[in-house]
């Protein structure tokens, strides 16, 4: 079976393919379809954004499509940046820009609890969707640590660990992260549908 991963983010693509390894599953991604415009993520929730990406790519290409959307919910910031995590410092913001803004806004805050939450959506070519979720709690560190990972990984330290995601080996992060948990949940739900 062919599965299109509805992202052009090479870092995210690597993580998804590393976890979602069902036998007989062939992958492509939005990178293989440069003629398709980026999907505007204008939903009010991670579920809406994830579904819109999966459904759009599935209908346009005729392939089953898998999309995800992730929110970073910082308790002391009333849940911000939330679903706007990837563009927290602006539409063209880099990972570093977003991290700098988050640390600036938390510079005087002692309570640093946060939750990463990922919604995975699978769409068939007709646009029918189903969802799976995963989340992990942790804290926002006072400064970036580590050089692996991407996004907020250098400042997110999951509960029960003394390393940030950016300090962890990829194999460990891919077992415990919000995206890994969502993907593992999705695999358990959709194994019969997508596997051999």
124 is catalytic: no
C-alpha closest to that of 112 among 182, 173, 164: 164
CB neighbours of residue 63 within 10 Å: 21
**3-state secondary structure (DSSP) of residue 72:** strand
What are the phi and psi torsion angles at 160 (to 5°)?
A: 90, 0
Assessment of whether the complete model's pTM goes beyond 0.85 = yes
- Reading phi first (left if > 0) and then psi (alpha if -120 to 50, else beta), residue 165 is in alpha
Q: What is the C-alpha to C-alpha distance for residues 188 and 92, in angstroms, rounded to an integer?
A: 36
Q: How many domains are contained in the chain? A: 1
CATH code of the domain in which 39 resides: 3.90.950.10
- pLDDT, one tens digit per residue, over 154-181 is 999 999 999 999 999 988 998 899 988 9
- pLDDT, one tens digit per residue, over 81-127 is 999 999 999 989 999 999 999 999 999 999 999 999 999 999 999 99
CB neighbours of residue 62 within 10 Å: 13
The residue from 69, 78, 153, 196 that is catalytic is 69
Strand partners, 43: none
- pLDDT (0 to 100) of residue 195: 66
Q: How does the average pLDDT of the chain come out, rounded? A: 93
- What is the extent of the structural domain holding 71? 2-194
């Amino acid at each position: 079976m062919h599965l299109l991963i509805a992202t052009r983010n090479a870092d995210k693509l690597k993580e998804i393919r590393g976890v979602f390894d069902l036998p007989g599953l062939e992958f492509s991604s939005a990178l293989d379809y440069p003629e398709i415009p980026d999907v505007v993520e204008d939903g009010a929730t991670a579920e809406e954004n994830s579904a819109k990406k999966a459904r759009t790519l599935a209908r346009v290409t005729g392939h089953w499509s898998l999309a995800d959307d992730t929110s970073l919910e910082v308790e002391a910031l009333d849940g911000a940046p939330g679903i706007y995590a990837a563009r927290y410092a602006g539409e063209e913001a880099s990972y570093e820009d977003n991290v700098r803004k988050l640390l600036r806004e938390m510079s005087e805050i002692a309570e640093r609890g946060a939750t990463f939450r990922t919604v995975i959506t699978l769409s068939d070519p007709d646009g029918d969707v189903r969802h799976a979720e995963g989340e992990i709690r942790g804290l926002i560190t006072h400064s970036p640590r580590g050089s692996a990972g991407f996004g907020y990984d250098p400042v997110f330290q999951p509960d029960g660990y003394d390393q940030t995601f950016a300090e962890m080996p990829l194999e460990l992060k891919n077992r415990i992260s919000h995206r890994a948990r969502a993907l593992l949940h999705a695999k358990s739900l959709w194994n019969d549908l997508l596997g051999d």
